[in-house]
């Protein structure tokens, strides 16, 4: 299994590099925890129209959205680290070797995914004292969905980094992609609060289905059709993003 071996090799190296720049670990953990502690208390009143009468219920709506936004945005911004590696010649040095091109992508994207999942677990644990309750099976399925989201958005972001003609274009492109995705998926506030036309637009956003699936899982409805719909949509898009970016890894050089 050359692919598995090479992916593990690249993954290990990326973990080592992350470990050696601990500032990212600190930032990565404190930011979402701040969202949880400083923003969430505003929610009870805002979410009241959705039937949230207690903090526990407000958190059940808010936390899955927060986790989704963490994985979507965390993944979308990971391409910036690839720009540094491209500039340093590390990608080129890898591409002269027979190492699997798909592994160059997967090793990096999986490292990102694991990092984001660790953050997701920390946020979930932090939300427990506030009354968040979710059954373990649903939670596990939610993490699968989150992992796929992180994998997809990381692959997408690496693809953007490889396809763009210069580094300066990365930031505006990622922001332009991320903003409507974020707004139209109802990650922070459910789109149930939105007017009908905005909801219909959102239904075309695959991330909307992912977020809806997350909320169904956290509110104890793993059988809700939106769960498998969200998983399916995200799984298909992940496969597309990974294969497209892997092609860029083997073909594209800057």
Assign 126 to helix, strand or coil: helix
Q: Which of 7, 60, 78, 94 binds other proteins (CB under 8 A)?
A: 94
Q: Which of 16, 42, 232, 240 binds other proteins (CB under 8 A)?
A: 16
Alpha carbon distance 41, 68 (integer Å):
19
In the complex, the smallest distance separating the C-beta of residue 6 from other proteins, rounded to whole angstroms, is: 8
- For residues 34 to 73, the per-residue mask of contacts with other proteins, x marking binding by CB under 8 A and - elsewhere, is ----------------------------------------
Does residue 9 touch other proteins according to CB under 8 A?
yes
Nearer to other proteins, 19 or 228 (CB): 19
Q: Which of 48, 53, 92, 220 binds other proteins (CB under 8 A)?
A: 92
Stretch that binds other proteins, among 11-19, 65-73, 131-139, 151-159 (CB under 8 A): 11-19
Nearer to other proteins, 7 or 60 (CB): 7
Does residue 247 touch other proteins according to CB under 8 A?
no
Task: For Cα atoms 143, 207, 104, give the angle at the middle one, nearest 5 degrees.
Answer: 65
Stretch that binds other proteins, among 1-9, 62-70, 151-159, 204-212 (CB under 8 A): 1-9
Cβ burial 102-128 (10 Å sphere, 16+ → b, else e): bbbbbbbbbbbbbbbbebbeebbebbe
Does residue 25 touch other proteins according to CB under 8 A?
no
User: Which residues 68-87 are close enough to bind other proteins by CB under 8 A?
Assistant: 85
What is the phi/psi pair of residue 253, to 5°? -135, 145
- Annotate 209-246 with DSSP letters as a single string: HHHHHHHHHHTT-TTSHHHHHHHHHHHHHHHHHHHHHH
Number of residues that bind other proteins (CB under 8 A): 21
Residues 155 and 241: beta-carbon distance below 8 Å: yes
- Of 164, 203, 170, the closest CA to residue 186 belongs to 203
**35 to 13, 50, 146: CA distances (angstroms):** 31, 21, 18
Report the sign of the C-alpha dihedral through residues 61, 62, 67, 70, in that order.
positive
Does residue 15 touch other proteins according to CB under 8 A?
no
User: Which residues 117-146 are close enough to bind other proteins by CB under 8 A?
Assistant: none
Contacts with other proteins by CB under 8 A lie at 2, 6, 9, 13, 16-17, 20-21, 85, 88-90, 92-99, 253
């Amino acid at each position: 299994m050359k692919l598995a071996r090479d992916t593990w090799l690249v993954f290990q190296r990326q973990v080592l590099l992350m470990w050696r720049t601990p500032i990212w670990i600190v930032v990565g953990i404190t930011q979402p925890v701040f969202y949880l502690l400083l923003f969430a208390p505003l929610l009870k009143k805002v979410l009241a129209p959705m039937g949230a009468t207690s903090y526990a219920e407000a958190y059940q709506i808010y936390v899955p959205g927060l986790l989704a936004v963490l994985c979507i945005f965390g993944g979308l911004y990971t391409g910036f680290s690839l720009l540094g590696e491209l500039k340093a010649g590390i990608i080129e040095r890898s591409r002269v070797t027979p190492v699997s091109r798909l592994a160059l992508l997967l090793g990096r994207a999986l490292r990102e995914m694991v990092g984001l999942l660790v953050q997701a677990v920390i946020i979930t644990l932090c939300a427990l004292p506030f009354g968040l309750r979710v059954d373990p099976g649903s939670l596990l399925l939610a993490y699968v969905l989150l992992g796929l989201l992180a994998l997809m958005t990381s692959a997408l972001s690496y693809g953007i980094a490889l396809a763009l003609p210069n580094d300066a274009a990365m930031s505006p492109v990622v922001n332009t992609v991320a903003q409507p995705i974020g707004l139209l998926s109802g990650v922070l506030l459910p789109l149930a609060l939105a007017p009908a036309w905005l909801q219909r637009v959102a239904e075309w956003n695959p991330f909307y289905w992912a977020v809806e699936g997350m909320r169904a899982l956290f509110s104890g409805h793993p059988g809700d059709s939106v769960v498998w719909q969200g998983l399916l949509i995200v799984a298909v898009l992940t496969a597309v993003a990974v294969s497209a970016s892997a092609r860029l890894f083997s073909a594209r050089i800057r």
